[in-house]
Amino acid sequence: MGNPISNNNITIIADSDTWIEGRAVQQLETTAKLPQMLRVAGMPDLHPGRGYPVGAAFFSVGRFYPALIGNDIGCGMALWQTDLPAAKAKPAKLAGQLGSIDAPPDAGWQARINEILPNHPFQTALGTIGGGNHFAELQTVDTVYHAGLLPAGFQTDRLQLLVHSGSRGLGQEILRRHVERFGHNGLAESGTDAADYLAEHQSALDFARANRILIAERMLAQWHGGGERLLDVHHNFLQQAEIGGQTGWLHRKGATPSDCGMVVIPGSRGDYSYLVKPAADCTHSLNSLAHGAGRKWQRGECKGRLSHKYSADSLRRTAFGSVVVCEDKALIFEEAPQAYKSIDGVIAAMANAGLIEPVARLKPVLTYKTGGNCGGEA
């Protein structure tokens, strides 16, 4: 069994051959020194963020830090079981039927929007994926490790749809207002300022979950198909939690909760995704898991590393034969599979640490990033 790396109040879940950039470890060490921060934990997908690491969880008492959650509050993964036959899946045809879903839904969707997120000021952004590492992906079952653990309703002969998106501009606006007033000093848990942030944070969580629902429903409508949501789990959020007998604030930034049942941990657009069952006791990782493979290269260096060998068009077809819909020529290089760690290593490190049991492995058929030019947060 693999051994987590522990030093004082810092834990990193890693095998001996897990590659983690030194700057990410430095950022994790910095967060461990924040006032009233008791413990921090880095996952195998740990990588540097904008001042704070991604792929990590942070536990504080008496004070919490909105900047650790970042600007995409509520970002997460939703897995849908579709009724689309896997055996008949033709990636290019599916891409043609889908077209672009970059623009907000038309007026025909308004009744559904009012049903899932009534009277919300950011309604017009619902149903859109955004930029950066966000995606929606049709997948097929490659391997089942434990059939008895598959979720109710899971069908191995049908396509699955995985949606990764968050709160879009809403989370950005919430963080901007907070940092303008309070900087990066965090908030004492008592008082109106903390209550105000927590209310806005909940609004962003509600938006993000509704957004993933509408993205899935829009896509399924284009394919004249139906589906059932099997799971939906945030990986950027703040919650009150009890750990080690102390009640405090658990921050997750690119860290999947281990106490919400079955979860999906995806690889890059040219790699597998894993459906996993978390262990009953994950306290040594702050009840958290990796949220993906984790970046290996910074965005700004990807095109320089790849453009001499690959064209943008060649990156729209993966080694699996799956199709990538991405008409943003910068993003196609930034999100290339080569820019990410291998998901197999991330899964192995968590399994060796006793955190998860793999249930099934999925492989991509169609990955949607953007049908046009898009920007957005990572």
Q: Tell me which residues are annotated as active site.
A: 291
Strand partners, 54: 47
Where does 5-370 sit in CATH, by number? 3.90.1860.10
The whole-angstrom separation of Cα 206 and Cα 196 is 16
Supply the Cα-derived Rg of the chain in whole angstroms: 20
pLDDT one digit per residue (tens) for the chain, 378 residues: 455 666 779 999 999 999 999 999 999 999 999 999 999 999 999 999 989 999 999 999 999 999 999 999 999 999 999 999 999 899 999 999 999 999 999 999 999 999 999 988 888 889 999 888 899 999 999 999 999 999 999 999 999 999 999 999 999 999 999 999 999 999 999 999 999 999 999 999 999 999 999 999 999 999 999 999 999 999 999 999 999 999 999 999 999 999 999 999 999 888 999 999 999 999 999 999 999 998 877 888 888 988 888 888 888 888 899 999 988 888 988 888 888 889 999 999 999 999 999 999 999 999 999 875 433 333
Task: Show me where the domains of the chain are located.
Answer: 5-370
